[in-house]
Amino acid sequence: MPVDPKSTLKSYIDTRREALISKVEDLSEREARLPRTPTGTNLLGIIKHVTGVEAVYLGSTFDRPFPEPGALIPDEVFEVDPQADWYATEDETLEGIIGLYRRVIAHGNETIDALPLDAIGHVPHWDGEEVTLHQMLVHLFSDLAGHGGQADILREEADGAVGWRKPGDNIPTEYDWPAYVAKLTELADKF
């Protein structure tokens, strides 16, 4: 475990990034795209969303724009479709979105490595609000943890795969899950 604050934050963020990718990378195109909530939340859409967010938070916020601007969703698209970053279009692929996210991650990590935690930036879609790199890393970790929780639940609904960092890890394999669910249902039914 790293001991300096920046390396610690980066380590936790990298772990959350990889966990999020693991929730989708071995699914079929259909399963990755399939809406799983009444508002259309889908696993690949979560990856696409965090890709754009990270490109801003660790890119243009600190005057280090992502070097492939054409790969990201242009701002004017959101005027037509405010949900444009929450789903893959017909022309996009699972592999392509994950590849783009990995390139955004690499660029973001370069920003983290290049700047001190007290470096000042301005978040474009927060009306240019002034932030520090430290604030953005904490905010990014919080975002990734929340989206990771969404992905955990969606993936379990998709095929039963569970795990904190990737499907299949840290979950007891010899546990009687149906009995556990029945126990919890019985408890809930008392209220």
Q: Tens of pLDDT along 59-105?
A: 999 999 999 989 999 999 999 999 999 999 999 999 999 999 999 99
Residue 183 has pLDDT above 70, yes or no: yes
What are the tens digits of pLDDT across the range 128-168?
999 999 999 999 999 999 999 999 999 999 988 887 776 66
Q: How confident is the model at residue 172 (pLDDT cuts 50, 70, 90)?
A: confident
What's the one-letter identity of residue 63? D
Strand partners, 129: 123
Cβ burial 109-132 (10 Å sphere, 16+ → b, else e): eebbeebeeebebebeeeeeeebb
CATH number at residue 43: 1.20.120.450
Q: Note the pTM of the prediction, 2 decimals.
A: 0.91
Question: SS3 letters for the chain?
Answer: CCCCHHHHHHHHHHHHHHHHHHCCCCCCHHHHHCCCCCCCCCHHHHHHHHHHHHHHHCCHHHCCCCCCHHHCCCHHHHHHCCCHHHCCCCCCCHHHHHHHHHHHHHHHHHHHHHCCCCCEEEEHHHCCEEEEHHHHHHHHHHHHHHHHHHHHHHHHHHHCCCCCCCCCCCCCCCCCHHHHHHHHHHHHHCC
Burial of 161 (0-12, 13-18, 19+ CB in 10 A): middle
- The count of structural domains within the chain is 1
What average pLDDT does the structure give for the chain?
Answer: 94
Residues spanned by the domain of 35: 5-189
Task: Single out the residue of 77, 80, 79, 107 nearest to residue 92, CA to CA.
Answer: 77
Percent of the chain, pLDDT > 90? 85
Residue 172 or residue 121, greater confidence: 121
